[in-house]
A and B are shown apart, each in its own frame.
Chain A
Amino acid sequence: MTVFQAIFLVVAVVTLGGAVMVVTVRNLIHAALWLILSLFGVAVMYGLLSAPFFTVIQVVIYIGAIAILMIFAIMLTRRVAQEPGSSVNKGWWMAGLMSLVLFTALVWMFSTWSGFQTTLPQLPEGIDTIKVLGTALVSPDGYVIPFEIASVLLLAALIGAVVVAWERKT
């Protein structure tokens, strides 16, 4: 077993363990903290896949913004966060069964694909992927249209969130 594999396995176990805690733990604040652990694990995965830009935006956007936003929302709705009674609905065993079936089906489907055992290729020499990504996102030959649409979407979401959560004094 190489060092790379060892790191991968440790990070995978931590991430999946955190994810399981997110969906099972009763206290929502604790679930959010487990979510942060899981997101950190995913950030390390991006690092292992030599995508350092994604490691950074994972930490900044997911952990810095989304997870904190969720903790805020949980605190604003505190009363229901610790409601007595079950934290899962009546059909939870069906949900678990469906997830298991989907996982088995996915792995089986992947294993029939010829590229499943592709080994790690060398990155092309002398190319800075962050630079290439930045150029591709704003060049007309690249992804400038999706990039601009994403900007409009974010602006719409920003205004929409303010309008929806606005408290009207009547």
Chain B
Amino acid sequence: MISLSYFLVFAAALFCIGLYGVLARKNAIAVLMGIELMLNAVVINLIAFWRFRTPEMIAGQAFGVIVFAVAAAEVAVGLALFIAIFRRRNTIAADEIDLLKW
């Protein structure tokens, strides 16, 4: 019989892979992909908790929908920022975008 532990461990693994991508990759778009993986892991957790703990309440799914909306907004603004930065500085390597570093 499948238990909540399967989904929790799976989501934790997905989150940590995404975290590695965010911390280690140079290209800013690759960093954004890591963030997407992390957000997906979070939504899996929300849905798994809803399904296993409180299937009679809909709160878990409602939270998931909000997370989806925030993720979409975040990617749109993030990619627009990268395109603007690329136009000005001709790079989107995360360690070369250091205008604010003194």
- A residues at B contact (CB < 8 Å): 2, 4-5, 8, 12, 15-16, 19-20, 22-23, 28, 31-32, 35, 38-39, 42, 45-46, 49-51, 53-54, 57, 61-62, 65-66, 69-70, 72-74, 76-77, 79-81, 83, 86-89, 91-92, 94-96, 98-100, 102-103, 106-107, 110-111, 115-124, 127, 129, 132-133, 136-137, 142-143, 146-147, 150-151, 153-154, 156-158, 160-162, 164-165, 167
Contacts and interface: CB of A to CB of B under 8 A. Distances in A.
A87 B3 contact: no
Contacts, number: 251
Contact of B13 (A16, A35, A57): A16
Interface of B: 1-10, 12-21, 23-27, 29-30, 32-34, 36-37, 40, 43-44, 47-48, 50-53, 55-56, 58, 61-62, 64-66, 68-77, 79-84, 86-87, 90-95
B88 to A, nearest CB: 11
B66 A150 contact: yes
B2 A5 contact: yes
Contacts of A127: 56
A51 B58 CA distance: 11
Contact of A12 (B10, B51, B84): B10
Interface of B is mostly: helix
A31 B33 contact: yes
B2 A117 contact: no
A38 B37 CA distance: 8
B52 A102 contact: no
A124 B23 CA distance: 42
A98 B17 CA distance: 11
Contacts of A164: 77, 80-81, 84
Given A106-B12, A117-B3, 17 more contacts: A4-B2, A5-B6, A22-B33, A38-B37, A51-B61, A51-B64, A53-B61, A54-B43, A62-B71, A80-B86, A87-B26, A95-B20, A98-B20, A119-B1, A121-B55, A129-B61, A157-B73
